Amino acid sequence: MKTSARVIEMQESPLRKLIPLADEAKKKGIKVYHLNIGQPDIETPPNFLRAIKNFDEKVVGYSISNGCPNLRQAIVDYYKKQNINFAENEILITNGGSEALLFSLLATTEPGDEILVPEPFYTNYNTIAKIAGISIKPITTLPETGFKIPAKKEIEKLITPKTKAILFSNPGNPTGAVYSYEELKVLADLAKKHDLYLISDEVYREFVYDGFEFTSCENFAGISDRVIIIDSISKRYSACGARIGSIASKNKELMANILKLCQSRLCVPTLEQAGAVELYKTPHSYFEKVNAEYKKRRDIVFEKLAKIPGVQCQKPRGAFYIMAELPIENAEDFAKWMLTDFNLDGETVMFAPAEGFYATKGLGKNEIRIAYVLEEKKLSRAMDIFEAGLREYRKLTS
Ligand SMILES: Cc1ncc(COP(=O)(O)O)c(C=O)c1O
């Protein structure tokens, strides 16, 4: 039997391909600290499970394809507090931010089209682009500038008649960059000038540190019909398994067409939507606590990395990731070796080699991404193990 070229050509998740090695290490009794994926250990606010326990319908029925009205209203109210203005009918509920991304690309591009994405970028954008039959043209951003958006004329060179959208995450996974108003204005101006959609993946919206201001793309005047906001409760409320995301746009025609895609999968789980309604009512003080926790973790990782000879990294302003350049040639080989050949008193660390976050061949080979999703003590220990492993690996490979 044949398998389609569509799936054969799809890239295996560069983050998940090391999992069998971690499983093998665990079978040998080695404890693995997971700094490889954005799965926070922060407790999901209890109002989520309470709402599910209190669900009092006799039948768990389908909900409507665009999502429960009370969830859409809860998101409208949440957005209002963030100075983002959408009406209930400008929001569609999706199975996580992932489906929101997929539906947005399916609705804004034709097979063969191109989208611009600042690289390094969230690797799943590759898979989603493949499903939509489109290609990603990377806007290369550099660690030494804090992964800032380059000048307008640099980006403009990448635009062709096939370019239909600019997609980016802000705050950024894997970079931790938070775009300033001026950087976003560059993208907004280009979108207007070249008739492009601006797909703004804001799933890390609250995770911004050091008093830096987050700017949503919704705030740009005169382009509201081009802006699509991608959202999710996965990171915001540490509810990755609930699979609740959303698409927000003021473009009525676009939204009516995305609704057809929503109808193809009938609905998003009814119970999780009930839980998400309560999550979106979580008071703002929750984010203050969670942010303080992530900031502490970021500082631990950054300070430990900065002390390791030969390691280059910048302090990220947002999300919960940090990129680092290592004094080795092949970060993937090092990441594998940490799982297969190294342990410090029976413990090792898993992190993400960064090559898979780049579309430009050859970039990111000696870079990694660390997700600071473990509590202070574990994170500190994991970073000590990382440092010991890097020292040992360098001795073996130099
Ligand atoms: C930038 C970004 N966008 C979207 C997602 C998708 O998240 P989910 O489908 O869990 O909402 C992720 C998950 O890691 C992400 O990092």
Q: Is 174 in the pocket of ligand 1 (CB under 6 A)?
A: no
Counting Cα atoms < 13 Å in the Cβ hemisphere of 170 gives 27
pLDDT of residue 220 exceeding 90: no
pLDDT of residue 218 exceeding 90: no
Q: Is 393 in the pocket of ligand 1 (CB under 6 A)?
A: no
Which pLDDT belongs to residue 131? 94
CA 98 to ligand 1 center in whole angstroms? 6
Which pLDDT belongs to residue 21? 95
> Quick one: average pLDDT of 299-303?
97
Q: Is 167 in the pocket of ligand 1 (CB under 6 A)?
A: no
User: What is the DSSP secondary structure assignment for residue 344, as one 8-state letter?
Assistant: B
**Nearest CA-CA partner of 382 in 331, 341, 345:** 345
CB atoms within 10 A of CB 4: 8
Which pLDDT belongs to residue 252? 97
CA 57 to ligand 1 center in whole angstroms? 31
Give the rounded distance of the alpha carbon of 74 from its chain centre.
22
Tell me the C-alpha to C-alpha distance, in Å, between residue 231 and each of 92, 220, 301.
10, 18, 27
Are 44 and 290 within 8 A, CB to CB? Answer: no
CATH 3.40.640.10 range(s) for the chain read 47-279
User: Which residues, in sequence order, are CB contacts of 47 under 8 Å at separation 6+?
Assistant: 275, 278, 279, 281, 282
The string of pLDDT tens digits covering residues 117-136 is 999 999 999 999 999 999 99
Which pLDDT belongs to residue 6? 86
User: What is the DSSP secondary structure assignment for residue 89, as one 8-state letter?
Assistant: G
- Which of 7-21, 37-51, 127-141, 338-352 has the least mean pLDDT? 7-21
Mean pLDDT value across the chain: 95
Which pLDDT belongs to residue 30? 97
Q: How confident is the model at residue 255 (pLDDT cuts 50, 70, 90)?
A: very high
CA 203 to ligand 1 center in whole angstroms? 7
Strand order in the sheet with 163-169: 91-94, 245-248, 227-232, 197-201, 163-169, 114-119, 135-140
Query: Atom of ligand 1 at shortest distance to CA of 37?
Result: 14
CB atoms within 10 A of CB 320: 26
Q: Is 207 in the pocket of ligand 1 (CB under 6 A)?
A: no
Q: Is 98 in the pocket of ligand 1 (CB under 6 A)?
A: yes
- Please give the backbone phi and psi of residue 159, each rounded to the nearest 5 degrees, phi first: -80, 130
CATH 3.90.1150.10 range(s) for the chain read 5-43+285-397
Alpha-carbon distance of 340 to 22, in angstroms, equals 8
Alpha-carbon distance of 385 to 378, in angstroms, equals 10
| Cα four-point dihedral sign 77, 82, 88, 91 | negative
- Which of 4-18, 80-94, 212-226, 269-283 has the least mean pLDDT? 4-18
Alpha-carbon distance of 342 to 330, in angstroms, equals 16
> Quick one: average pLDDT of 137-154?
95
Which pLDDT belongs to residue 14? 73
The string of pLDDT tens digits covering residues 304-358 is 999 999 999 999 999 999 999 999 999 999 999 999 999 999 999 999 999 999 9
Tell me the C-alpha to C-alpha distance, in Å, between residue 213 and each of 4, 182, 185, 341.
45, 12, 15, 43
- Please give the backbone phi and psi of residue 187, each rounded to the nearest 5 degrees, phi first: -70, -40
If one residue of 203, 247, 272 were mutated to test the ligand 1 pocket, choosing by the most ligand atoms within 8 A of its CB, it would be 203
> Quick one: average pLDDT of 23-37?
95
pLDDT of residue 32 exceeding 90: yes
Which pLDDT belongs to residue 306? 95
pLDDT of residue 16 exceeding 80: no
Q: Is 201 in the pocket of ligand 1 (CB under 6 A)?
A: yes
User: What is the DSSP secondary structure assignment for residue 13, as one 8-state letter?
Assistant: P
Are 271 and 52 within 8 A, CB to CB? Answer: yes
Are 347 and 26 within 8 A, CB to CB? Answer: no
Q: How confident is the model at residue 219 (pLDDT cuts 50, 70, 90)?
A: confident
Instruction: Indicate the burial class of 27 (C-beta count within 10 angstroms; 0-12, 13-18, 19 or more).
Output: exposed
- Which of 38-47, 160-169, 338-347 has the least mean pLDDT? 38-47
CA 329 to ligand 1 center in whole angstroms? 29
Q: Which amino acid is at 319?
A: A
Length of the chain: 398
Q: Is 169 in the pocket of ligand 1 (CB under 6 A)?
A: yes
CA 125 to ligand 1 center in whole angstroms? 10
Does the 47-279 domain belong in CATH 1.20.120.550?
no
> Quick one: average pLDDT of 138-156?
95
Are 220 and 188 within 8 A, CB to CB? Answer: yes
The CATH architecture annotation of domain 5-43+285-397 reads: Alpha-Beta Complex (3.90)
Counting Cα atoms < 13 Å in the Cβ hemisphere of 247 gives 33
Alpha-carbon distance of 265 to 154, in angstroms, equals 40
